[in-house]
Structure 1
């Protein structure tokens, strides 16, 4: 098979990497599109959300050989690592995977020239963006099925976030990244 070579069309920009480590719902930032791809943005402002396809450039070496994981980032929600099953990497959102590619759905707040202002960004500043797709009706899925452990994680995260909001810490979501 031929080698696959992809070039970034832009990069994530924000100054919130430390905040991102503590937030479940992501941060505000921008996607800076390279000048040669600016024409490709025409019409994107009409969408409320966009899908970012990114290359996780910080994942190196051995971490690309990982095929089984436990979602360790959930420890801060009171979920013991022992309570989580070991699953195949393709059953997880782990950045550690053979091809470290991320898919992220973000709210598009505005377009300023080559800069897309977004909310709900879960990518580190400097992350290369490989592609952008609109999030439209044709992609929306009404009913999904998830494994039991995913439902349990969701329940515990919601429980933990609810307790934090009651204590006045709604803006300080717990650290979810290892």
Structure 2
């Protein structure tokens, strides 16, 4: 298989118009609200999603202009492999965010814990299911040293 073609199912509307304003993870700025505007043909796909508290959003990093195999992530001075970091400059430019669902109205899903640029194309939405998506005894590689004893470093909150 040489090529995969995907089409956006909607667009994210967020208050972030520049990369410098986005938190490194949405959970660190949990009160910020955004919404997904779904294309009409996918609206019935939202049925029952309102019964979940969280969702996983897959999206396309539409502003990323390059592809890297290594990068220097926030909080680090060293480069790491692209599959060990969450840079937008990755092969295929696919992003993932776990968000907290606030409400669903017509073709819009409102959520918090946003870490995505305004006008980002949405590829898919899935319910976050604690029975499937949560893991125990997780190692976080190079990040573990920055989050010792579950303390969030101040630099993780704002860029």
* Bin for the TM-score computed over the shorter chain: 0.7 to 0.9
**Aligned to 1:6, what secondary structure does the other structure show?**
coil
Distance verdict in 2 for CA 1:47–1:125, change over 3 Å: same
Residue 99 (str. 1) matches residue 101 (str. 2): no
Instruction: Decide which structure has the larger Cα Rg and report it.
Output: 1
How far is the alpha carbon of 1:20 from its aligned partner?
7.0
How far is the alpha carbon of 1:159 from its aligned partner?
4.0
Q: TM-score, structure 2 length as denominator? A: 0.85
Question: Is the 8 Å Cα contact of residues 56 and 95 (structure 1) preserved in structure 2?
Answer: yes
How far is the alpha carbon of 1:145 from its aligned partner?
1.1
Structure 2 residue corresponding to 1:145, chosen from 139, 147, 150:
139
How far is the alpha carbon of 1:157 from its aligned partner?
7.2
Q: TM-score, structure 1 length as denominator? A: 0.77
CA distance in 2, matches of 1:22, 1:97: 18
> Which residue matches 2:51?
46
Q: How many pairs does the alignment contain?
A: 152
> Which residue matches 1:115?
108
> RMSD between aligned alpha carbons?
2.3
How far is the alpha carbon of 1:101 from its aligned partner?
0.1
Segments of structure 1 that go 5 or more residues without pairing to the other structure are 162-172
Question: Is the 8 Å Cα contact of residues 20 and 122 (structure 1) preserved in structure 2?
Answer: no
CA distance in 2, matches of 1:19, 1:54: 15
CA distance in 2, matches of 1:51, 1:44: 11
Question: Is the 8 Å Cα contact of residues 55 and 98 (structure 2) preserved in structure 1?
Answer: yes
Question: Residues 48-101 of structure 1, C-alpha deviation per residue, up to 9 Å, x if partnerless?
Answer: 0000000101012xx21x101111x33xxxx6x2xx3x2110111011111100
> Which residue matches 1:7?
7
Higher helix share: 1
